Every structure is written in C-alpha cells, then in structure tokens.
Amino acid sequence: MKGIGIVRKVDHLGRIVLPKELRDMMNINPHDGVEIYVDNNSIVLKKYNPTCVLCGNADKLFYFREKIICEECVEETAKYVLASGEQR
C-alpha cells in the first residue's frame, strides 16, 4: 500500500474528508458507496462496486430481498423455477 502524504483530522462526529485529488484518482463521486474494513493495523477505504451474489457480475443489477442479483441470473433462475414446476 502506498501512502500519498495527506493527513486529515477526525472531527467530533468521527468523520474525515477525502481530499479531492484522492476522490478524483479513485473516481469516487458524491453519493458513491465506500467500503470500510480493517487489515491488520490499517483502516482501508475502498470504492464500493456491487456485484451479483450468484455470479459476481457487475452489470444490470437488481435488489431482491436485500440481495443483489444481475439480470442474467434473474432470467436463469426464472427458467429453472419454471422448469422445476413443469416436472412436478
């Protein structure tokens, strides 16, 4: 991991401001999600890129029962459910 030499203070609510240069470099726009996790003794921020829970695809995503599923898996699942119903 490479440091970029910018220090920010945490405010009284626990917030920090990500410098514009860093947001531009990482293509982080207002209202984008950011993942926060701990790696050994480091706090890591990563731009959130949602993916399908079934196949990992990041295109044409839908929320279904609080899970993210892509259009392709929705279609494939529907075909499977229809085929299963016909076999009974």
CA atoms of 22 and 11, how far apart (whole Å): 19
Other Cβ atoms closer than 10 A to 69: 20
Q: What is the pLDDT of residue 3?
A: 65
Q: What is the pLDDT of residue 84?
A: 80
pTM, to two decimals: 0.57
Task: Judge if 36 and 22 occupy the same domain.
Answer: yes
Range of the domain at 77: 50-88
Domain count, the chain: 2
CA atoms of 58 and 53, how far apart (whole Å): 10
CATH label of the domain that carries residue 7: 2.10.260.10
Task: Judge if 60 and 35 occupy the same domain.
Answer: no
pLDDT in tens, 18-57: 999 889 999 999 999 999 999 999 999 999 889 999 999 9
Q: What is the mean pLDDT of the chain?
A: 89
Task: Judge if 40 and 58 occupy the same domain.
Answer: no
Task: Judge if 41 and 6 occupy the same domain.
Answer: yes
